[in-house]
């Protein structure tokens, strides 16, 4: 079993009681990295000053200087987010010899001010351009659940998710463009937050598709997300009062129909989750939203991503002698953006606008606090599964990648021994409501379970 403490609140309490020290906590995380990283390939770079930082933070805590609940907490960071003193490689041969970043990304600055320790950088799909965890120039990342199965942890925040599940850190940062936090959270049995688009600053984060990119979180607890988000924002997210009986939309018929094509037991876990929300006092209502799985939405997302990817990275790609060593998937995405006729991109932008308006109208019409869905209709496949399998896994994510809605993933139980995630989708700006909902659920049901690894 991994030996990292279960959540940040328990860890913070242990540090303040003195039953745990900051150096001991760091040592536990590093022990798990040393024990498991050869098998998981989740962590690619470690900071050199973590030990000295841990000693300083321990002395300050004992001396009465307390930065708050993240004081002394070791975190890992996806390798498309700048950390001062470490290279940002985006898992690409183009940046394999990149110099150290001269400055922290904006989200890292907030975490450091809150007393967090940046332990290192995590593996990812090259250029954040896939959802498998297998396209990194540093090699694939393996899901810590039943490691011998050699399953995908989800991507592109593959290393961050695997590291948190395996106890290599207390929480990790990732990014999400088309599912890159949502799918890893679901497949590794974690909580994951894709915040509302624009809530968190993107300075110091390498772009995938700027109009959809968001930094986000992977944790073992909903309450942990609240603490981390507050530090990254340097304040509380905008909030509206949660109704006494929050109204949750569910789509039983669609989920049963689509799950039957992949893993029917996902629908059973979904029904069980619905029953739990009802028992918590939520008003659960069946809704009709066929737009969610409409043919063509994935194509719109892909067109927008390819266009923005080529636009934003061509200066790095065109001038690189390693260009021909890019993985075939980001290389094809780059070429698609380069060769895209202007009218195709214009049509995709029109489609995005219309889909956003329709989604907003749906939430308003149904008066929903959140829409409850599975994260995907299948649990983690083998890493070498066909690309079509990974495209299908994004089915319930494509729409909300474009519309700016916040999405919170939570553990929904196991199917054939592998985690099955559920997701709460809110209206843009309702991040605080989603977090409060998830914390209520967590207090009652304690859904997180660590893998045997």
Q: Which residues are catalytic?
A: 78, 156, 180
Backbone region of residue 187 per phi and psi (left: phi > 0; alpha: psi in -120 to 50; beta: other values):
alpha
Q: Which residues lie closer than 8 Å to 65 by C-beta, 6 or more apart?
A: none
Which residues does residue 122 pair with via DSSP β-bridges, in sequence order?
43, 78
Which residue from 313, 243, 318 is spatially nearest to 282, judged by alpha carbons?
Answer: 243
- Cis amide leading into 156 (omega within 30): yes
**Angle, to 10 degrees, between the axis of helix 222-233 and the axis of helix 431-445?**
150
Rg (CA), the chain: 21
The tokens describing 260, both together, are 């039957």
Q: Are 254 and 292 in contact (CB under 8 A)?
A: yes
Beta strands in 171-307 (DSSP E): 171-176, 191-194, 214-219, 247-250, 283-286
Dig out the tokens for 75 from the structure. Answer: 């975190």
Of residues 219, 140, 207, the one with CA closest to residue 173:
219
Cβ distance 225 to 438 under 8 Å? yes
Neighbouring C-alpha atoms within 13 Å toward the C-beta of 88: 18
Closest CA to 165 of 392, 431, 421: 421
The tokens describing 423, both together, are 């997701």
Phi, psi angle pair for 307, to nearest 5°: -60, -50
d(CA 151, CA 415): 14
Contact (Cβ atoms closer than 8 angstroms) between residue 21 and residue 71: no
Q: Are strands 171-176 and 370-374 parallel, antiparallel or unpaired?
A: unpaired
Indicate if the alpha-carbon torsion angle 5, 11, 14, 15 is positive or negative: positive
In 15-159 the beta strands, taken as DSSP E runs, fall at 43-46, 74-78, 117-122
The DSSP H or E segment spanning 53 is helix 50-62
Which residue reads 């956003």 in tokens? 356
């Amino acid at each position: 079993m991994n030996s990292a403490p279960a959540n940040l609140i328990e860890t913070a309490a242990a540090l303040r009681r003195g039953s745990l020290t900051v150096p001991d906590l760091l040592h536990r995380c590093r022990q798990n990295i040393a024990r498991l990283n050869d098998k998981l390939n989740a962590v690619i770079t470690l900071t050199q000053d973590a030990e000295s930082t841990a000693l300083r933070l321990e002395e300050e805590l004992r001396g009465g200087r307390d930065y708050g609940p993240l004081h002394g907490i070791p975190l890992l960071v996806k390798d498309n987010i700048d950390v001062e003193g470490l290279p940002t490689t985006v898992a690409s041969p183009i940046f394999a010899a990149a110099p150290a970043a001269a400055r922290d990304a904006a989200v890292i600055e907030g975490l450091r001010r809150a007393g967090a320790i940046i332990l290192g950088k995590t593996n990812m799909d090259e250029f954040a351009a896939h959802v498998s965890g297998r396209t990194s120039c540093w090699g694939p990342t393996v899901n810590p659940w039943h490691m011998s199965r050699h399953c995908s942890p989800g991507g592109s925040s593959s290393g961050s998710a695997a590291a948190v599940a395996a106890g290599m850190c207390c929480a990790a940062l990732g990014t999400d463009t088309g599912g890159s936090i949502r799918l890893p959270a679901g497949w590794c049995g974690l909580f994951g937050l894709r915040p509302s688009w624009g809530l968190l600053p993107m300075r110091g984060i390498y772009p995938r598709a700027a109009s959809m990119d968001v930094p986000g979180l992977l944790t073992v607890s909903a309450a942990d997300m609240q603490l981390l988000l507050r530090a990254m924002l340097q304040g509380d997210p905008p909030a509206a009062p949660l109704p006494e009986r929050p109204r949750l939309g569910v789509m039983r018929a669609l989920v049963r129909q689509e799950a039957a094509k992949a893993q029917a037991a996902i629908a059973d876990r979904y029904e069980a989750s619905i029953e739990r929300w009802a028992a918590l006092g939520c008003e659960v209502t069946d809704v009709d939203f066929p737009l969610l799985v409409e043919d063509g939405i994935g194509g719109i997302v892909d067109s927008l991503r390819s266009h923005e990817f080529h636009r934003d990275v061509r200066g790095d790609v065109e001038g690189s002698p390693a260009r021909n060593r890019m993985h075939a998937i980001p290389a094809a995405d780059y070429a698609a953006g380069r060769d895209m006729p202007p009218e195709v991109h214009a049509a995709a932008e029109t489609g995005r606008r219309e889909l956003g308006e329709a989604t907003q109208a749906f939430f308003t019409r149904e008066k929903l606090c959140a829409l409850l869905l599975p994260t995907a209709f299948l649990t983690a496949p083998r890493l070498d599964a066909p690309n079509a399998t990974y495209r299908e896994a994004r089915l319930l994510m494509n729409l909300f990648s474009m519309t700016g809605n916040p999405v919170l993933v939570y553990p929904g139980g196991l199917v054939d021994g592998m985690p099955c995630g559920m997701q709460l989708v809110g209206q843009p700006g309702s991040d605080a409501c989603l977090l409060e909902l998830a914390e209520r659920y967590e207090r009652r049901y304690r859904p997180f379970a660590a893998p045997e690894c």
